[in-house]
């Protein structure tokens, strides 16, 4: 994700209703959400640029009219991927490995964050 069309997902400027509640929650959780995207699986897969997502989260937390729906989707997907990886493809305990969605788990691909993003190795 490099650019979004102008106004994509932007909420009204009133600050009330669901958008106001979302912005309040975003302000409260901004540090944790930015930390979630320090080394995101979405970036490792080449689907987003971590730096761009972190910048968008910070900007939205400061009240800039950004796509809250899109940011919520990115956060939810990142959390889901981490949960999937942690559970090795199943959310049911006791499920035989052959019946799991991803029997061997998911191996993150290194280097997809770009040069210098992951620091020295």
Digit-coded pLDDT (tens) for 67-99: 788 898 999 999 998 888 777 655 555 656 555
Instruction: Give the Cβ contact number of residue 44 at 10 Å.
Output: 19
Domain ranges of the chain: 17-99
Distance CA 39, CA 74 (A): 14
pTM above 0.75, yes or no: no
Q: How far is CA 37 from the centre of its chain?
A: 6
Please return the burial class of 57, using the count of CB atoms within 10 Å of its CB with bins 0-12, 13-18 and 19+: buried
Assess contact for 74 and 53: CB atoms under 8 A.
Answer: yes
Distance CA 72, CA 31 (A): 15
* Averaged pLDDT score across all residues of the chain: 75
């Amino acid at each position: 994700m490099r650019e979004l069309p102008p106004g994509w997902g932007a909420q009204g400027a009133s600050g009330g209703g669901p958008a106001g509640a979302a912005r309040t929650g975003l302000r409260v959780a901004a540090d944790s959400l930015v930390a979630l995207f320090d080394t995101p699986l979405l970036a490792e897969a080449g689907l987003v640029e971590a730096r761009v997502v972190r910048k968008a989260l910070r900007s939205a937390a400061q009240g800039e009219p950004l796509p809250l729906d899109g940011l919520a989707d990115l956060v939810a997907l990142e959390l889901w991927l981490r949960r999937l990886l942690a559970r090795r493809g199943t959310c049911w305990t006791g499920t035989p490995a052959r019946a799991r969605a991803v029997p061997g788990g998911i191996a993150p691909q290194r280097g997809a964050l770009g040069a210098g993003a992951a620091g020295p190795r």
